[in-house]
Each structure stands twice: as structure tokens, then as C-alpha cells.
Amino acid sequence: MLQIEQEAVRVVHRSLSKKMILKRSLLIFIGAVLMAVGLEFFLVPNQVIDGGIVGISIILSHLTSFKLGFYIFLLNLPFFYIGYKQIGKTFALSTLFGVTILSIATFIFHPLPVLTADPLLATVFGGIILGIGVGIVIRYGGSLDGTEILAILFNKKTPFSVGEIIMFFNLFILGSAGFVFGWDRAMYSLMAYFIAFKTIDVVIQGLDESKSAWIISDQYERIGETILARLGRGVTYLKGEGAYTGDDKKVIFCVITRLEEAKLKAIVDEIDPSAFFAVANIAEVRGGRFKKRDIH
């Protein structure tokens, strides 16, 4: 057992390969730029807002003389630290990189001419482009908005799910647009949010905040110990039998958040690239020990 724990710790501290870091950084960069395109070329010029921190930033930018990118970066600053504590260093750095690129891109794109002055076209195409960008960033382990991290914190102290808390925040923010831009723009904003939400769903193949993971590998002990050390998630070993070979197998079962899915995939690839790995969406999680353990 001691040898397994030592190997797990070595995997925890094993740095990502340069190729993986470059791929992740490039895709987060592309996702952040796409979101900036959706904002500055479609939504913002037509006074249509997004939800979350970005929506608050759009309203504040409209009411003051400061640029949108300034508020996006400033309002997300507290969530870098929270993300680091709650989810991990890789997620926090990926989020910092993505938000920085988003902020810079909005500064660059702001003086450029808009592509359409039709609010309906702007809502549809802006929502799609924004959703693609956000979906790419989330799929590769980052985030462009601190609202989700805040919702995870509130979820621990309230009976509401992460999805319900995010929806409440966004309905409040989108409703505020009615007082600032007019109620027709608030309705366009709600439409843009719904379109972006569904587009993100397509890009990352599931928006449920909880996911079940099933892993079959001969290296199940190393993988299980590493999941506990790296993600702070408990695992369950189930007994299985191969229908074709008749061999006894150990099946790892664990429940994670969707923001942890990319890191879990990386753990499995590092230890056993040939392992069977399946992830499914979960509508609700109750009981057990799903809450994240402290990682020392």
C-alpha cells in the first residue's frame, strides 16, 4: 500500500507534457477569442447581454466609461483564488489564462465595425458563437466566468443544486438588463442566453454539474489513489467479470463535477492509456460522501 501511495503522489506531481499544455492553451485561447467575437461583434453593440460575470460587466461598462474587458478581468479576480482552492491549480491557471485572453480580445475588437444591427440576427449568431467559445474552454479544463465557481460554494450551504443557483443568478442579471437597456433587450438577452446554453451543451456533450465515471484497468489501485490525492474524490471498487474472457475485473466508480472531467481523463491517460473509461451525466446526487475532500 505504501508503494501504491508513493506512486500516486508521483503521478500527482507529474507535470503535463509540453504537447498537452500547448494543445490545452491553444484551444482555451481559441475559445476565449470566439467568446469575445460573439460579444463585441454581435451582442454588446446591440445591447444584448450574456449571463454571469460577463453580463454584469456589460451593464457596468454601459453605465460607466470603463471598457468591458476591464470589468471582465476585475470581477473574475476573486474567483481565481476560489477556483484554486476548490478545484485545483490547473483549473485556476487555465481560467486565469482564458479570462485574460477574453479581456484583451474585447479591447482589441471594440473599435471594429459590428457585423449586423439586426437584434434578432445578433442574438442568434452571437449566442451560438459565444456558446461555442465557452464550450471549448470548459471542455479543456478552464472557465470564463466565476458564477459557476460561486454556485459550487453556495451549493454546499444551501439545498439548491449548482444548476439551480446558476439559473437564479442569471435570471437576476438578465432581468436587470430590462432596467438598463429596455425590456425588449432583456428578452433578446434571455434568448441569447438560452441559445448559448444549448450550444455549450452540444460542444461539451453535457452540462450537468455532476458526472459518474466508470474505469476498468489492471492499474485500478494506482488510479484510485491518484483520484483521491489529485481530485479529493472518493472512489468505490466494484467487482466485475469479463463476459468474453471470464476474468475477474475491478471497476472504479466515482462521481465528479463536469469541471473535473478533463483532469480525471488526464489521470487515467497518465497511468493506463488503454483503460476502459466511461462518463455519464447524473441528474441528482444524494447521500454518500460526494463532497470534495481536502487535499493536503
pLDDT value at position 11?
Answer: 46
pLDDT of 33 above 50: yes
Rg (CA), the chain: 21
Predicted confidence at residue 13, as pLDDT, reads 45
Give yes or no: residues 214 and 175 share one domain: no
Shared domain check, 197 and 222 = no
Whole-number percent of the chain with pLDDT over 70: 84
Range of the domain at 144: 13-204
pLDDT tens per residue across span 149-177: 777 677 667 777 666 777 788 888 888 88
pLDDT digits (tens, 9 = 90+) for 111-125: 788 888 899 999 999
Q: Give me the pLDDT at residue 287, please.
A: 62
User: Is the pLDDT assigned to residue 91 strictly greater than 90?
Assistant: no
- Residues 185, 230, single domain; the answer is no
The reply to whether 170 and 223 lie within a common domain is no
Asked if the model's pLDDT at residue 99 lies above 90, the reply is yes
**Residue 268 pLDDT class (50, 70, 90 cuts):** very high
- Predicted TM-score (pTM) of the model is 0.67
- What is the per-residue pLDDT for 1? 44
Phi-psi region of 49 (alpha: psi -120 to 50; beta: other; left: phi over 0): beta
Tell me the C-alpha distance between 225 and 16, whole Å: 19
Question: How far is 253 from 235, CA to CA, in rounded Å?
Answer: 6
- pLDDT digit string (tens) for 207-260? 445 788 999 998 999 999 999 888 888 898 988 877 767 778 889 999 888 778
Report the pLDDT value the prediction gives residue 38, as an integer from 0 to 100.
94
Query: Same domain, yes or no, for 144 and 27?
Result: yes
* 241 lies in the same domain as 102: no
pLDDT computed for residue 51 by the predictor:
85
> What 8-state DSSP symbol labels residue 159?
S
Strand partners, 123: none
Closest CA relative to residue 285, chosen from 214, 201, 209: 209
